[in-house]
Structures are given as C-alpha cells and as structure tokens.
Amino acid sequence: MTVWAVHIHFVSAQDKTADQGVYTSAQAARGAAVFEAHCVSCHREGGSAPVLAGARFTKAFADATLLSVFTTIQTTMYRLETKRAIKRTRKISNAHIFEAVLSRTAAHRRIVDELLALFGGRTQPVMSHLIEAGKLTLDDLRDAEKAIRKHSAKERAK
C-alpha cells in the first residue's frame, strides 16, 4: 500500500536550499519516518518510481529550494493522476494519499501504445523519426531483432 503526502503549509525556510541548513536533525528524523511510511513503496531500487538519492537526484535538485521541490512533487503526482498511473485513496488533513495503479512498465507500454495510435498503429513513421533523430542505433536494432525472433518463436509454439 502506498502513500504520498503534501503539506500545504509553508514555512519561511521554503526559499532556502537543503544545503543551507533548512532542517533541524529532529525534522530530518521525522522526514525519514514519513519517507519510510509513505514514499519508499514506490521510490526504491526496482520500484515504480526513481530512487530519491544518489548522483542523478542530487544533480537534479542540488540548487532547488524546498518550495520548488514541493512543486515538482505536486506537479508530478497530479500529472500521474491524470494519466491514471496513480489514484487518490484518502485525505489526511491537508495531505492527499495516493496509491499506484500501474507498474512503471505498464505505464510505459501505455504511453508507447498511445504514441503508435497517433500514427494509425503504424510503427514505420515512428522508426524513421527515431533513426533520423539519431535515437536508434544498430545495437538497438540487433536487440530488437533478437526480441522479435524470440517473440515469433513463442507465438509459433502456442
């Protein structure tokens, strides 16, 4: 079960970045408990959402103020809700509680299916675009070939 909470209540520290000493140790400990209870179900290695630590995360949010981190989270959650990847289950005072509806793989598949539908279900125009944009390499094609062979072998075995 999974959950996400937003506090609409801003403090004056909202304009500082985390590196400027915004949190007391007590607040950090409280945050860790909230994270364990409400975030880690999605935000973990192999979970449906990116890990909120490490080089990638630090780079993305190093200069961010608390307010902009908050806004990022809020925007993300509302966007995921619109795409029906998550749904609201409860409200606790000012916090909305969400839970995952789709796995990340399923969400990606849905996006790809929607994209193909735009091209009338034809993959060829999408492939040409990817090739012209330099986004499709020979290695990708070789992997794709392997996957297609494996898939048709499976179909034949049915």
Please give the residue ranges that form the binding site for ligand HEC (CB under 6 A): 2-5, 38-39, 41-43, 48-50, 52, 57, 60, 69, 72-73, 76, 80, 86, 98-100
Shortest Å distance, C-beta 75 to ligand HEC: 9
Shortest Å distance, C-beta 46 to ligand HEC: 13
Helix (H) or strand (E) holding 117: helix 104-118
Of 60 and 131, CB closest to ligand HEC? 60
| 10, 24, 36, 75, 76 from 68: Cα distances, Å | 12, 20, 22, 10, 12
Of 55 and 117, CB closest to ligand HEC? 55
Of 66 and 136, CB closest to ligand HEC? 66
Shortest Å distance, C-beta 130 to ligand HEC: 21
Shortest Å distance, C-beta 86 to ligand HEC: 5
Query: Residue 17 forms beta bridges with which residues?
Result: 65
Q: Which tokens in the block code for residue 157?
A: 């075995």
Of 92 and 157, CB closest to ligand HEC? 92
Of 58 and 152, CB closest to ligand HEC? 58
Q: Long-range contacts made by residues 55-63, C-beta under 8 angstroms, separation at least 24?
A: 61/18, 62/17, 62/19, 63/17
Shortest Å distance, C-beta 31 to ligand HEC: 8
Q: Beta-carbon neighbour count of residue 39 at 10 Å? A: 19
Least Cα distance to 38 among 85, 93, 100, 83 occurs for 100
